Structure 1
């Protein structure tokens, strides 16, 4: 039998095929080497992490949602509550409506986009937990701890009796369901939203307290299967392990504030200052979390706001602004005189970094350290004052206006 001869043309084809196979093999190796964990990469950069949480009700509508802003370096975090009745012109709906309608009609991706616009920041990650799974997680965590100021004893529209004791108590799955759904006649929507935010904080605290159990290799899938995210399994684990390290005792709580208006037959919460205030408040909190690796958030700072003008209610309204930005504000008072031309921030604790952040919130750069007399006066107050803000004629109710001189 003679040898099989390979023509030159066939040799060329075989050579090209070998080149293609080599290129394909190298591309697979290269792709595998580039396989990354995006959450792990974000942690290495030591930046602020943001995650949108949505808790669905039994009918798959949104029960409540929050954004967790978290500094993994300092372990400090903030929860921004998103009232479902927040009103705006939502591009994804093409009309003025409730924020919760975006979720039910357009889905989680559009909802996240609208929340990003509302808060003025990007949110890379989202997590969805159904009410059924939220209840199961509560049981798995051994309950969620919340504070109830007054005992609850009321009956639902369906005739179900709702009972909850008062005090700081651990709520199992059934009780957390009651806590989220009971309604009292004298309650406002703000009271309900506060409960939602407390439940979310209790969930984050539960992750922290039981992280030694949750993230054991044999257990973590069981827990994380309750949560639907936009991440791969290994990225989910990395994210929630990071979140579970949060300093659960010092979580800052914020919410959207505004005025209630009736639009097309439904009551909407229209954000203050056309939505600019919540953006500024969230930016302020984020700056606090990010500054000096989070050391500025070791405690809540006490502010005293004084009205140094003849404008009635100026200090009171400004106090509300700072309270919503997570500061502890004493009852507003009048300054010793009412002819201050310029707003001034007085630093009683020698922390100019924090003073500047407070100044940025109202665009005030006139900052000075307190005199011994001013320090003595502030220390005589019950709470002790960290910073005094005296409002001048250059303050328009939201910002200090630059001098025209």
Structure 2
């Protein structure tokens, strides 16, 4: 007597696969970890490396320090032409020489080593996205102590003195100068 298979066995198999997929989706959504929130719960000072680049080299490098207990924040500028001992190339050179937009872990470590801290997070933004962000925020308020009227490599930079609100294109031009 032959063994008879139920005709709806493929439906049972499909139902099991769908239930397994739903279980995996639920597990991924409910068990995910927010690294930033976890770091803030440790009640330590957080450090974030902020880099704005033009696709090849960094134009602006800042390290943001935030203490969640006291809610104090500090922003430290690291000029890209800062010279330091770079262990990745075994010589003293400018910090920007080790910057690679695709793999900038060495740059992150060198910036942290320069300040004597381990940098927790890093944020990279190109100039186009910086321009969009400034426009989205409604402009950038800066104080320019002296008027700027200069031409560098065929590009003219013109900024008035005093408190100025820069739109995205002018802010981009300002950090490129």
TM-score (norm 1): 0.36
Query: Structure 1's 112 and 157: CA in aligned 2 closer, same or farther, altered over 3 A?
Result: closer
What root-mean-square deviation, in Å, do the aligned CA atoms of Structure 1 and Structure 2 show? 2.8
The answer to whether structure 1 residue 103 and structure 2 residue 99 are counterparts is yes
Deviation at 1:109, TM superposition (A): 0.8
TM-score (norm 2): 0.77
CA–CA distance in 2 between the matches of 1:157 and 1:177? 16
SS of corresponding position for 1:69: strand
CA–CA distance in 2 between the matches of 1:106 and 1:94? 21
Give 2:61's match in structure 1, choosing from 60, 65, 69. 65
**What are the ranges of 5 or more consecutive residues in structure 2 without an aligned counterpart?**
5-19
SS of corresponding position for 1:129: strand
The answer to whether structure 1 residue 166 and structure 2 residue 151 are counterparts is no
Give 1:157's match in structure 2, choosing from 145, 153, 157. 153
Deviation at 1:146, TM superposition (A): 0.5
The answer to whether structure 1 residue 148 and structure 2 residue 153 are counterparts is no
Q: Deviations over 1:260-296 (max 9, x none)?
A: xxxxxxxxxxxxxxxxxxxxxxxxxxxxxxxxxxxxx
| Counterpart in the other structure of 1:42 | 39
SS of corresponding position for 2:99: helix
Matches within 5 A, 1:63-212: 63-104=59-100, 107-158=103-154, 160-182=155-177
Deviation at 1:115, TM superposition (A): 1.9
CA–CA distance in 1 between the matches of 2:112 and 2:153? 36
Verify the 8 A CA contact 1:143 1:171 in the aligned structure 2.
Answer: yes
| Counterpart in the other structure of 1:389 | none
CA–CA distance in 2 between the matches of 1:49 and 1:30? 31
Deviation at 1:105, TM superposition (A): 8.8
Greater helix proportion: 1
Q: Deviations over 1:115-166 (max 9, x none)?
A: 22222211121000101111121111111110011222233331x4322222
